[in-house]
């Protein structure tokens, strides 16, 4: 390989690595400020829906703002029939299924609902 050419290549590689590092740290900073997200929840004690700002480390059940009980669970929406539902939690400690199927049409094209506070 020509010597001039290989020096140019090294400069390009270092430049690319520096750019990548900058991009990655900017990305990490972004994660740092965006740890909160809005979730649409349903309280199984008082049957009310509510929105809450959750930290990514938080997992339901969360405290219901209406009755104060720790029975706020994620709401899901079916992409096929638009049914909105709250999958029942099971186990100990109780957890909702990760990928519940729609109780109305049986589709597995379901997703957790977000919302605007
Ligand atoms: Zn409640
Ligand atoms: Zn459905």
49-78, pLDDT tens digit by residue?
999 999 988 889 999 999 999 999 999 999
Q: What mean pLDDT is predicted for residues 92-117?
A: 93
pLDDT in tens, 2-45: 667 776 766 666 666 666 566 555 555 555 566 888 999 999 99
- Rounded to two decimals, the pTM is 0.69
Report residues near ion ligand 1: CB below 5 Å.
43, 45-46, 64, 66-67
Q: Enumerate residues 6+ apart whose C-beta is below 8 A from 20.
A: none
Integer CA distances (angstroms), 95 to 45, 78, 90, 108, in order:
16, 19, 6, 18
- Give me the pLDDT at residue 31, please: 52
Query: How far apart are the CA of 101 and the centre of ligand 2, in A?
Result: 8
């Amino acid at each position: 390989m020509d010597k001039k050419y290989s020096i140019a290549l090294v400069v390009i590689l270092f430049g690319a690595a520096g750019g990548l590092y900058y991009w990655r740290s900017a990305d990490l900073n972004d994660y740092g400020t965006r740890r909160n997200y809005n979730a649409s929840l349903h309280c199984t004690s008082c049957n009310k829906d509510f929105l809450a700002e959750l930290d990514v480390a938080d997992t339901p059940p969360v405290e219901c703002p209406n009755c104060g009980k720790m029975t706020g669970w994620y709401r899901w929406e079916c992409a096929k029939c638009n049914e909105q539902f709250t999958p029942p939690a099971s186990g100990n400690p109780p957890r909702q299924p990760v990928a519940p199927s729609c109780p109305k049409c049986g589709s597995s094209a379901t997703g957790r609902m977000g919302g605007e506070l």
